[in-house]
Structures are given as structure tokens and as C-alpha cells.
Amino acid sequence: MGRGMSNDVPPQLSPDGKWRWNGQQWVPAAPHRTKASGWPRRHWKLLSVVAGVLLFGACTVAVASQPSQPTAAHIPPVVASEQPGEQPTAIATSQASLPSSPSATPTEVPTADPTAAPAAPVIAPPPPTHAPPPPPPAPAGCHPTSPAGNCYQAGQFCSNAQHGTSGVAGNGQAILCRVASDGRWRWEPA
């Protein structure tokens, strides 16, 4: 066969596709480029940026929706240590030693014995987490009182329901709800 016939024969590739027979020897096959399937690279980049922004937003919302009240992790416990002849002092310890229940019973702290060796630290109970106590009752002589139960003083604003009424301030001074010089209703000295 002549050289002209080898041009008529389609090129032969090795079974692995990496070599091509040129009619005389095996030579590396040119990389076989096919059209990439799927999305172009720029679409994947855009998708990853959008996903990152959404993830950041979800994390921000999760952090922002956390309650802002202090938790037990923010309140250090107090440990009383006793030295002979001294008052107990407060020492901060780790959270692992605190009881988790706010209704824990207080631990009894023994008194110091001057002849005994220093006692081991005793864990004091956590501070109570109850609602604040109600305001102290207003003095018996003052009237009317605010919705919180406090006595009004001269110069304070009075409500619409109190316009024109008189009363007694916490210091015993007679007061009257009337229009002040600024045009607003205030408790003024009678």
C-alpha cells in the first residue's frame, strides 16, 4: 500500500483515547475538546455569591432574634471563703458549679472558728430571679397617687382625669392640677 491510501483511512485511536496512529507511528492524540455541559462558570460563581449572602443573612437574623436578657452564663457565681476573724469575701468560680434551678435552697455557711484551720470554700446560692418588689406604699397623707402608687409633686404633669382637682403632695404641700405658664396641665402649689 502506498502513502496515498493511508490518507483515505480514518485516524485510529488507541483504546484509552490518548494515542493516535498516523500511519507510521503512535503519536499523542490532541486533547479532545467537547462543549462543556451544564452552566457556564460565571453562573456557578454568581450562584455561590448569592448563597453566601443568603447564609450571612440567615445567621444575622438568628443572632438578632436571640433574647437580650442576661443568662446564667453572664452572671458569675459567688463563693464565700472564710478566714479567722474576717468577713467572708466573694470569689468568682466557673458556671459548672452552679445549680440550674432558680429555686435552689441556700447553702448554710458555718461560722469561723479562730482555733480551726481555714475552711474550704463554700458555694453561695445564686441571686434570686424573682420580679422586683412592688413600689413602697405612698405616705398616708398624699393623694391622689400615680398609677405606680407614688405621690405627685408640684411641677409634675397631671392626667386628663385629674384636671381641676386638688390634692396633697408627698411633702404635705397642697397641690392643684391646673394649666401652668407653659400651657400644659401640671400639679401646681395651691
Question: Is 32 a domain residue?
Answer: no
Instruction: Tell me the pLDDT tens digit for each residue of 75-132.
Output: 555 555 455 555 555 454 444 455 555 555 556 655 655 666 666 677 777 776 777 7
- Per-residue pLDDT tens for 131-146? 777 766 655 688 888 8
Res 2: pLDDT: 47
CB atoms < 10 A from the CB of 145, how many?
16
In 68-150, beta strands by DSSP E: 78-81, 89-92, 122-123
Whether residue 168 lies inside any domain: the answer is: yes
Q: Does residue 158 carry a pLDDT above 50?
A: yes
Give how many domains the chain has, as a whole number: 1
Q: Is residue 175 part of a domain?
A: yes
pLDDT level of residue 188 (50, 70, 90 thresholds): very high
Give me the residues paired with residue 21 across strands.
Answer: 12, 26
Mean pLDDT of 55-67: 86
Look up cell 396633697; give the residue. 168
Distance CA 33, CA 99 (A): 69
**Residue recorded with cell 386638688:** 166
- Give this prediction's pTM: 0.29
Question: Considering the domain boundaries, does residue 151 fall inside one?
Answer: no
> pLDDT digits over 31-46, tens only?
656 555 566 778 888 8
**Is residue 178 assigned to a domain?**
yes
Q: Is residue 164 part of a domain?
A: yes
- Residue 177, pLDDT > 90, answer yes
The residue type of 112 is A
What is the predicted pLDDT for the residue at 53?
Answer: 94
Specify whether the CB–CB gap between 124 and 77 falls below 8 A: yes
Give bridge partners of residue 28 from the DSSP assignment.
19
Domain membership of residue 177 as a residue range: 160-189
Instruction: Measure the CA–CA gap between 7 and 24, rounded to whole angstroms.
Output: 12
Which residue from 76, 68, 58 is spatially nearest to 127, judged by alpha carbons? 76
Rounded mean pLDDT of 146-156?
88
Domain membership flag for residue 17: no
- Evaluate whether residue 167 is within a structural domain: yes
